[in-house]
Structure 1
Amino acid sequence: MGSLSVIHQVLVGSVRRYSAMAAAGKGLLFRQLFEPVSCTYTYLLADTASKEAVIIDPVLDTANRDAKLVKDLGLKMVYAVNTHCHADHITGTGALKKLIPGSKSVISKDSGAVADIHIQEGDLVKFGNFSLEARSTPGHTDGCLTYVLNDKTMAFTGDALLIRGCGRTDFQQGCPHTLYHSVRSKIFSLPEDCFLYPGHDYTGQTVTTVGEEKRLNNRLTKNEDEFVKIMNNLNLPRPAQIDVAVPANLKCGIQD
């Protein structure tokens, strides 16, 4: 392993530890989990007093891992939440509901997906003394939500905003104009030191901040016309799992 790779790993580990320690200092348990095939991040948050927990963007392939972690930590998972209807993996929401009885699925009402609870702009997902505010951030899909912790120190952006990038806009009701305004009005309006946790990362990064992305994001620092031109010329391959993932996710991840 080269020296730069070693430095990167050290920095990633330091950020993870800082985030966990900062969360613990206010009674919040926080874990960032990774699924390598789709490069998806899953997030577990819990109130250490009540043990009530929320999991964000679980993946079917790692549902058993996530359920075991919830049980090992003595948590009561109340909600399994998705930021949107995913095209690159099957959600673990349905499986987790079976593995952890009593938990409920949550997704945007604009997603078109089945869930126990449908939410929209301004709604709160509450767990113990904490809550996540839903901010509507469409553009990648119509039903994209960003979840903002009640003290605005953390936000979970799904595919609307990635680290130095953003979700693609060429399928599932995608629209670059809509995404541009979503990010700039609903995410960039958060405090500059607010930690942003994306739905995916393909380069080994784990977290960013509002201030960093406002300065360094190669797409969202452009004006709207330039952003639209970039997004319309990405020429990315079709997601390998889209034909299976989208129908499954519209049914909360459970195939007939």
Structure 2
Amino acid sequence: MVTVKFVGGIKKSFNSDEMKLDVENITLDKLLQMILEQQPPNTPSIDTNNILIAINGADSSALDGKSTVIKKDDLVSIIPVIHGGSGKKLTFTFGRKTILAIELKGSKEIDVSFLDNLRKEFPNVKLQAISSKFTLNSYHLQNVISISLNSEKEKILLANKIETDILMRFAATNQISEAIKQAGIKTKTNIVLIAIGKKSDLEKIYKKLAPLTITIFSKDNSAFLKRNFKISKKQMDAVSSKKPLEDLLIEKAAVLL
């Protein structure tokens, strides 16, 4: 028997918070098909491109993706990633958490002390800054942050704080010092500011920083990311996906131990 747990808004699609299926030794892809076939009529549709799937607490991206074999007594959690926003900000929810991402133009004023001061001003918000070069697009950013949020939930963070975990996953390293060196905030370099907290606090942060924002993901960082992480065309061609680079980057973020 496999237990499927629905988290957040996806519960409305099944009028339940879980489903039990008498199956074993099938791929995650086939399990998803079975789940969708049992969705009640006249319920909200499911965007399978915007869900995070965890198997016994581990992100499926860190396993074999949709080819992962589901075994007897496995717990499969399906978590929706809901997003929205304008060209200058990205907001999305993961479970009950709300996340804001904005890109700030690099200047001499935006440095480590800038981030420290923001944290003091908004103590209830978890804040991290990532060098913009290490973000590809909204799909990449949301999935990497979702991995960190799920790791926090399962108590398997790479570091003591989720803010550090997020930085390490974008840099694809389990060394904090290396993550800071590679993907951390640098003077005169564009950054993506990530904030996790209450909507009211996130709105205040955006209002405060709006004059410094630029259109998020306006620059194509794919060439840099492929070069930095040594991702070859052969590797990308081997990925059965419409977004091979994104999925390879997400996999690198997920497999860190």
Shorter-chain-normalised TM-score: which range?
under 0.3
TM-score normalized by structure 1? 0.26
Q: Larger helix proportion, structure 1 or 2?
A: 2
TM-score normalized by structure 2? 0.26
